[in-house]
Amino acid sequence: MMTMLDRSKPSPLVTPPHAEPLDDALARLSTSRKGLNQAEADARLEEYGPNRTPRGRRTPALLRFFRHFHNALIYVLIGAAAITWWLGHPIDTAVILFVVFANAVIGFIQEGRAEAAMEAIESLLSPHAAVYRDGRRVTVEAVTVVPGDVVFVEAGDRIPADLRLIKSSHLRIQEAILTGESVAVDKSVGVSQADAPLGDRTGCAFSGTIVTAGQAEGLVVATGINTEIGRISGMLSSVDRLQTPLLRQMNAFAKWLTILILLIGAALLSFGVFIRNADFSETFMSVVGLSVAAIPEGLPAVLTITMAIGVRAMAGKNAIVRRLPAIETLGAVSVICTDKTGTLTHNEMMASAIIVAGQAFDVTGDGYTPSGDISPAPSEPVQSVLEQLAITATVCNDSRLVKDAQTWTVSGDPMEGALLAFAGKILGPLDDVRRDHPRTAVLPFDARHRFMATLTTNGTGQHVRAKGAPEVISSLCTKMMGPDGTPVPIDHKFIKA
């Protein structure tokens, strides 16, 4: 039976978890490698709160509906409806009010759908977690995980909280949601430098990331808003809300239109009463009728329906648009910032430039489609070097290109898929290449040696082919291909340059 642990709040965090020795982290969190007991876990849950990302303040549905009336042009239309009713034109009043309410209903329905889609993001946190309580491994809801818990994870699990690893066995974690890197990261129990970027903190696992291989035990060092993904969520919740260009233009248009109509109405009323000596009440009613007729009551409905069509088209491309006016903002975008690998967009990569035999070539094509051109056209000696490079990219590769209808996708690593697409542009169908160069042995890629190698056999004998980090591959070689396609002594300075 475990004794009750110290319920005092863990001491202030001086050294970041990735740079903190494990024993120090255990002592700071008043826990052990066997985890917490249930009483202590309940007390900490009361103290730290549920392990979930912060939820923004929800706007009541009624308030969201009436918010669609908060527009200068809508105010003008409501005023026009009141005047037409006063003038005894109920049909005109009904038409104007129908346009106003239709505009609000369309926007309200679209926002409701977007809100439902945004709530699905909460599924990033694993619903359950395996933790050690009272010395036994039990399964609990992820929202009840607290700092000081010891969590067990294995391939396929989503990390429930930020962890400092205690044990690790061939652990690899996909951290694309935090770093944008498409390749899973190898993890270990060692410490990292205090100023190490998030992607280099190999001794930690972060909430919301996915275990792709291996298993591990980790000490929970942060939950909820204090995790890396919680910090990002908190930053997003504090973003200032700005009006879109369309809404600014609509408000300016409504303001100037109202002023213009009032000025013209006042001028017509003055002209009729003081110059033409017309009856004031009759002239006033005529001026009001002209003013109402000048208001473009169909404009908000046309804009709302147009934007709703745009939102529907974006939804077909798997893009969530939370508010209708935001769809117009896309047309005003002048700069798009994205990550270097394209993981945030399509998670696709493509070989776009090749350097062989001291010459650089551009590669054209689209995604993983194995067709494209090499420019400028290589000479005969260089062409043979390109073919050897393409064979290496094919046989020293564990992925496959798959054609689904008219679209090519990769089954495996995106980088390896890009190499296969490049090889297809040089060699044509790759099944023939793999059949002619059967693999007899393989050295899988590992972060420690940073390359992958295969042993293949064909009619000319056995060949070792490898791909990996340039400095590692070049350090294993004594020769390289010269400009004429023949081997020359390797020039490490040239390669580095």
The residues carrying an active-site annotation are: 339
Q: Alpha-carbon distance 265 to 258, whole Å?
A: 10
CA atoms within 13 A on the CB side of 352: 6
